[in-house]
C-alpha cells in the first residue's frame, strides 16, 4: 500500500479527507510537524500546488493538498485565500465576517477548493477545482464541521454545512466535489 500525505495540519480537514478517501487504497498520513509550508501564493491553486509539492519532496511520497476558502460577494471576494488567517480562530473569524456584513442585504458567498496531488518528486500529477454556492446567514446554526460551516447556508438544501450529516456535506461541499472529480485517477494511482 502506497503512502499519501495530506499537506495540512488542520484537524477538521484531516478527518474530512479520511472519509472522502475511504475507497482509495492508500495509507493516509498527516503532514509531519517538522514540515512548514508558507502559503504565500496569490491564488488557491498556487497555494495547493506549493503545499503538495513541498510535502511530497520532503517525505519522498505522494502528497495531496487543497487550498480552500470562502469568498463573500459583499466583501469583494474576501476573505478568499486569507480565510484561515482572517482572525486567530474559527469563532473570531465567524464574528469578523458577521460584523463586516452587518446591515448588508447581499449575503451571497461560495466556498472554493483547489486540490492538487504531487508525485514523490514534487511534480503535479492531478488537479481539480470546485465551488459550492450559498449565503452567509445572520446567526450560526449547527454543531458539526469547522471554520465557517455554521454561517454558510448551502443554496439547494438551505442547511448550513454545520447542520449537514457527513454524507450530505461530502456530496455538496466544494472539497467533496473537487475530490470526486479526481477520485477515478486516485483509484488507478493507488490500485
CA 79 – CA 164 distance, rounded (Å): 23
Instruction: Report the length, in residues, of the chain.
Output: 191
Q: In what order do the strands lie in the sheet with 124-136?
A: 26-30, 2-6, 62-72, 108-118, 124-136, 152-154
DSSP 69-104: EEEEGGGTT-BGGGGGGSSSSHHHHHHHHHHHTTT-
Query: What is Dmax (Cα atoms) for the chain?
Result: 53
| Contact partners, residue 81, CB within 8 Å, separation at least 6 | 39, 41, 42, 43, 44, 47, 67, 69
Three cell numbers written together for 1: 500500500
CA 177 – CA 171 distance, rounded (Å): 7
Active-site annotation, residues: 67
Amino acid at each position: 500500500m502506497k503512502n499519501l500525505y495530506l499537506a495540512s495540519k488542520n484537524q477538521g480537514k484531516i478527518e474530512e479527507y479520511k472519509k472522502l478517501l475511504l475507497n482509495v487504497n492508500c495509507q493516509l498520513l498527516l503532514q509531519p510537524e517538522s514540515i512548514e509550508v508558507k502559503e504565500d501564493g496569490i491564488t488557491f491553486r498556487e497555494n495547493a500546488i506549493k503545499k503538495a509539492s513541498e510535502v511530497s519532496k520532503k517525505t519522498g511520497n505522494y502528497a495531496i493538498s487543497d487550498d480552500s476558502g470562502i469568498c463573500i460577494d459583499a466583501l469583494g471576494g474576501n476573505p478568499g485565500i486569507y480565510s484561515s488567517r482572517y482572525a486567530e480562530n474559527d469563532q473570531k473569524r465567524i464574528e469578523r465576517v458577521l460584523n463586516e456584513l452587518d446591515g448588508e442585504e447581499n449575503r451571497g458567498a461560495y466556498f472554493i477548493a483547489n486540490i492538487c496531488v504531487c508525485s514523490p518528486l514534487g511534480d503535479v500529477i492531478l488537479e481539480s477545482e470546485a465551488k459550492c454556492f450559498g449565503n452567509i446567514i445572520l446567526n450560526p446554526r449547527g454543531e458539526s464541521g469547522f471554520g465557517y460551516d455554521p454561517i454558510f447556508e448551502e443554496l439547494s438544501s438551505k442547511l448550513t454545512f454545520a447542520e449537514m450529516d457527513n454524507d450530505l456535506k461530502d456530496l455538496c461541499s466544494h472539497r467533496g466535489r473537487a475530490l470526486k472529480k479526481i477520485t477515478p485517477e486516485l483509484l488507478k494511482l493507488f490500485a
